[in-house]
């Protein structure tokens, strides 16, 4: 990790001076106006803080450090984390250094398993995952050094160290919970010769004779790594971290947001929808039948899961990446066939209906069908996978927030009475 620290140590003063100059020149410039409707609508569209790790363009989708997602879809999770942190893809030596750091901290302490084994049998995997993360907070280096009085200039270094140690353990924690919660047998020890995604597949015990499940996990963990700073999980983590909470507290807070049905649980809802179609038609319906099914669903006041996005006004590039993977690896599977046919039919139906601002699919429309094909069929586990990936973006954002000295998040609220009198 020394290589990564050295790079950041050079980058941070440059960024600090850049922002100092920007504030001096444009500190009074307005970047957003807030309407009463926005104040009552989840702050939708309000530009209120800065996130440099990624941006979501309504017409292009996710852009990571200036790079469109589909241009970098083949890089590994380790490489995308390095990109999120530094703004560039690592050299071979830098990647080897980071992988070695992950490998050194891959094992989850036994006391965590002692805790998780006491959970009720019907506990939600996300509850177990978050509890595992929180239980490891006792090992936080940031907490200990903060208590010892470390200078502010060191915050980012120690947070990075904490963050990498936490990230290194997440595949082990997630895979162990999978085996424990779903009675898959004893935990499988990590293989330190494998990469982040490969180790996760190995530790789940899910058969992967072709290596395609490993390839899918590389793609899945890379695609879900970040989605700018205003989504629920990222903003929750940002807010908690701004109080100088360590990464264990902050990531856990973000993932508690991710567990909500309007955020990270959407992928399992999409898969349930697709499997419901399959069961009703005893297989994949033809396109005419599928179109009628979608229209009937809309006429009954129900939405079509996986279509529409709060920001995007184009097909989600993460969806495109998954569809391309499916076309190359599982074409002909009836569940995947329903997904691809829905993509052809649903946007046209929604446009004809005239109510949807965005008729295009989001990432959740496709991801579940691929996981299902490769044997990961426990729906309520899917958000754990999402969490393992999204923690990378949270950590990267936290490191830079501490490096730049971003203060505690404290927006001002007003009352309804104040709006009535003053707007």
CA 95 from chain centre, in angstroms, equals: 21
Residue 9 burial (CB count, 10 A): 12
Beta bridge partners of 330: none
Q: Could you say which DSSP state residue 273 is in? A: H
Hey, is 56 helix, strand or coil?
strand
Q: Do 285 and 139 fall into the same domain?
A: no
Q: Mean pLDDT over residues 283-291, rounded?
A: 95
CATH number of 70's domain: 1.10.580.10
Q: Which residues pair with 307 in a beta bridge?
A: 361
Same structural domain for residues 283 and 164? no
Residues 6+ apart with CB under 8 A from 1: 97, 98, 101, 160, 161, 164
Assign 3-class secondary structure to 173-202.
Answer: HHHHHHHHHCCCCCCCCCCCCCCHHHHHHH
3-class secondary structure, 284: coil
Per the annotation, the verdict on 263 as an active-site residue is yes
Q: State CA 196 to chain mean position distance.
A: 16
| Residue owning tokens 């890089």 | 75
Considering the domain architecture, whether residues 71 and 184 belong to the same structural domain is answered as yes
Q: Are residues 273 and 183 in the same domain?
A: no
When divided into structural domains, the chain yields a total of 2
Question: How much is the pLDDT for 243?
Answer: 97
Is the domain of 123 the same as that of 139?
A: yes
Model confidence at 408: pLDDT above 90: yes
**Mean pLDDT, rounded, for 67-79:** 96
From residue 284, give the alpha-carbon distance in Å to each of 269, 273, 275, 336, 363: 18, 13, 10, 9, 21
Residue 98 has pLDDT above 70, yes or no: yes
Using CA of residue 326, residue 328, residue 334, residue 337, what is the dihedral sign? positive
The answer on 258 and 300 residing in a single domain is: no
Question: What is residue 310's predicted lDDT score, i.e. its pLDDT?
Answer: 67
Mean pLDDT of 112-126: 97
If you average pLDDT over residues 147-166, what whole number do you get? Answer: 97
Q: How far apart are CA 118 and CA 91, in angstroms?
A: 44
- Contact between 234 and 227 (Cβ < 8 Å): yes
Q: Tell me the mean pLDDT in the region 45-63.
A: 90
Per-residue pLDDT tens over the stretch 190-224:
998 999 999 999 999 999 999 999 999 999 999 99
> Binning pLDDT at 50, 70 and 90, where does residue 1 land?
low
| Same domain assignment for residues 91 and 117 | yes
Do 93 and 33 lie in a common domain?
Answer: yes
pLDDT value at 46 more than 90 = no
> Is 383 contained in some domain?
no
Say yes or no: 252 and 359 in one domain. Answer: no
| Residue 381 included in any domain | no
Does pLDDT of 263 surpass 90? no
Q: What percent of the chain has pLDDT over 90?
A: 82
pLDDT band of residue 364 (cuts 50, 70, 90) is confident
Tell me if residue 105 is catalytic: no
Q: Based on the residue annotation, tell me whether 364 is a catalytic residue of this protein.
A: yes
Mean residue pLDDT across the chain? 93
Residue 405 within a domain: yes
- Whether residue 179 has pLDDT greater than 80: yes
pLDDT for residue 58: 85
pLDDT, position 236: 96
CA 389 to CA 93: how far, in whole Å?
23
Residue 379 is assigned to a structural domain of this protein: no
The CATH number of residue 345's host domain is 1.10.230.10
**How far is 284 from 280, CA to CA, in rounded Å?**
9
67 forms bridges with which residues in the sheet?
Answer: 64
Checking if the pLDDT of 230 tops 80, the result is: yes
Query: Which residue among the candidates 139, 246, 316, 364 is catalytic per the annotation?
Result: 364
User: pLDDT band at 353, cuts 50/70/90?
Assistant: confident
Residue 393 and residue 366 share a domain: no
Q: What is the mean pLDDT of residues 9-18?
A: 94
Per-residue pLDDT, 59 = 85
Average pLDDT rounded to a whole number, residues 353-361? 82
Tell me which long-range contacts 321-330 makes (C-beta under 8 A, separation of at least 24).
321/69, 321/70, 321/73, 321/219, 321/223, 322/219, 322/223, 322/363, 322/366, 322/367, 322/370, 323/366, 325/215, 325/216, 325/219, 325/370, 326/366, 326/369, 326/370, 329/212, 329/215, 329/216, 330/370, 330/373
Q: Which of 57, 124, 212, 263 is catalytic?
A: 263
Region 25-42 average pLDDT: 89
- Tell me which of 195, 238, 309, 316 is the catalytic residue: 309
Best CA proximity match to 250, nearest among 261, 262, 235, 240: 240
Dist. CA 200–CA 191, nearest whole Å: 10
User: Residue 275 sits in which domain range?
Assistant: 266-373
């Amino acid at each position: 990790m020394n290589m990564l620290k050295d790079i950041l140590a050079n980058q941070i003063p440059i960024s600090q001076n850049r922002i100092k100059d920007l504030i001096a020149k444009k500190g009074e410039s307005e970047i957003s106006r807030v309407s009463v409707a926005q104040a009552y609508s989840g702050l939708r569209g309000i530009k209120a803080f800065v996130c440099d790790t990624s941006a979501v363009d309504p017409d292009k989708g996710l852009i990571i450090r200036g790079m469109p997602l589909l241009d970098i879809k083949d890089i590994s999770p380790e490489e995308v984390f390095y990109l999120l942190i530094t703004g560039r893809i690592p050299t071979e030596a830098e990647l080897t250094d980071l992988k070695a750091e992950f490998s050194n901290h891959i094992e989850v302490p036994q006391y965590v398993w002692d805790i998780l084994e006491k959970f009720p049998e019907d506990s939600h995997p996300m509850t177990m995952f978050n509890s595992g993360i929180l239980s490891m907070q006792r090992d936080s280096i940031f907490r200990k050094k903060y208590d010892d009085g470390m200078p502010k200039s060191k915050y980012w270094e120690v947070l990075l160290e904490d963050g990498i140690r936490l990230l290194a353990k997440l595949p082990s924690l997630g895979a162990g919970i999978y085996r424990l919660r779903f009675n898959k047998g004893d935990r499988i020890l990590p293989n330190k010769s494998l990469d982040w995604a490969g180790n996760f597949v190995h530790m789940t015990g899910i058969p992967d004779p072709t290596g395609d499940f490993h390839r899918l996990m590389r793609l899945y963990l890379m695609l879900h790594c970040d989605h700018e700073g205003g989504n629920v999980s990222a903003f929750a983590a940002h807010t908690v971290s701004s109080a100088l909470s360590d990464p264990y507290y902050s990531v856990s807070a973000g993932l508690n947001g991710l567990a909500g049905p309007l955020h990270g649980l959407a992928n399992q809802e999409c898969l349930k929808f697709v499997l419901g179609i399959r069961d009703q038609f005893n297989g994949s319906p033809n396109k005419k039948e599928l179109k009628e099914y979608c229209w009937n669903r809309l006429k009954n006041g129900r939405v079509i899961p996986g279509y529409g996005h709060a920001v995007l006004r184009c097909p989600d590039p993460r969806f495109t990446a998954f569809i391309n993977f499916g076309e190359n690896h599982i074409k002909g599977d009836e569940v995947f066939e329903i997904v691809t046919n829905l993509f052809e039919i649903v946007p046209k139906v929604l446009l004809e209906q005239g109510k949807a601002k965005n008729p295009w699919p989001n990432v959740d429309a496709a991801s579940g069908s691929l996981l299902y094909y490769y044997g990961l069929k426990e729906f309520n586990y899917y958000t754990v996978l999402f969490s393992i990936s999204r923690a990378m973006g949270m950590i990267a954002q936290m490191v830079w927030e501490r490096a730049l000295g971003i203060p505690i998040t404290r927006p001002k609220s007003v009352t309804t009475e104040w709006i009535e009198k003053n707007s």
